[in-house]
Structure 1
Amino acid sequence: MSERKAQQSLENLKKALTRLEEALQEKDTNSLYIDGTIQRFEFTFELFWKTVKRLLQMEGIETKTPRETLKHAYSVKWLKNEQAWLQMLRDRNETSHLYDEAKAKQIYENIKGYFPELNDTFIDLSEKYGDSGSDDES
């Protein structure tokens, strides 16, 4: 796994987190905002676990599934709250398989609580694996 690819993954993840944060700043009285926020969460979570998987590969750790990736990331202390991440995975899986307005509202509320964990973890990983000033722009 190239360092450049890891940096690109982190850049994409930063953009997704910014968009999720924008969605969370909207009023939750409109079901379109709730739906949009959930969709942005799904996208952000997918990018997150795949980025973590790439970074683990750089460290010589191979994983296949999101759950396995999160477990390994927790074991190497990249994730602070394993239960929160596993709940994010459950919520992400649930939103992609069924739609229930009450459940969507609950997951939306969960996402508000997840955002600080997502953002803090992103900052930690960026400090460890972010752009090291390489000027290789090929």
Structure 2
Amino acid sequence: MIYRIGVIGQFNLTFELAWKALQEILKMHGADGAATGSPREILQLGYKLGFVDDAAVWLLMLKKRIHLFIYIMNKKLMR
């Protein structure tokens, strides 16, 4: 159980850093909407501008991230 939560935590951290780094790159390139976009909007904008190769994979990771958060919260509530 502890390993699973550790892996989930690392996944969340890595995903968070990735989309925020993409956001900063988009801002540096003057992309409209980069400053205030949600993770989904940033990923879609990055794909549109050619910074992301496979938007479907990134959007799937975003979806999994939400499901993993719910999983962790349920585990904490069950204690």
TM-score (norm 1): 0.47
Measured in 2, the distance between the counterparts of 1:67 and 1:91 equals 13
Q: Paired residue for 2:14?
A: 44
Within 5 Å, give how 1:1-138 maps onto structure 2: 31-61=1-31, 62-63=33-34, 64-96=37-69, 98-99=70-71
Q: CA deviation at 1:49?
A: 0.6
Q: CA deviation at 1:68?
A: 0.5
Q: CA deviation at 1:81?
A: 1.2
Q: Calculate the aligned-residue CA RMSD, in Å.
A: 1.4
Total equivalences in the alignment: 69
Q: CA deviation at 1:33?
A: 1.5
Measured in 2, the distance between the counterparts of 1:44 and 1:95 equals 14
Measured in 2, the distance between the counterparts of 1:66 and 1:72 equals 10
Q: CA deviation at 1:71?
A: 0.3
Deviations 1:4-40 (A, max 9, x none): xxxxxxxxxxxxxxxxxxxxxxxxxxx2222101110
Please give the secondary structure, in 2, of the residue aligned with 1:77.
Answer: coil
TM-score (norm 2): 0.78
Q: Paired residue for 2:75?
A: none
Q: CA deviation at 1:99?
A: 1.5
Q: Percent of aligned positions with the same letter in both sequences?
A: 35
Structure number with greater Rg is 1
Runs of 4+ in structure 1 off by over 2 angstroms are: none
Structure 2 unmatched runs, 5+ = 73-79
Measured in 1, the distance between the counterparts of 2:19 and 2:49 equals 15
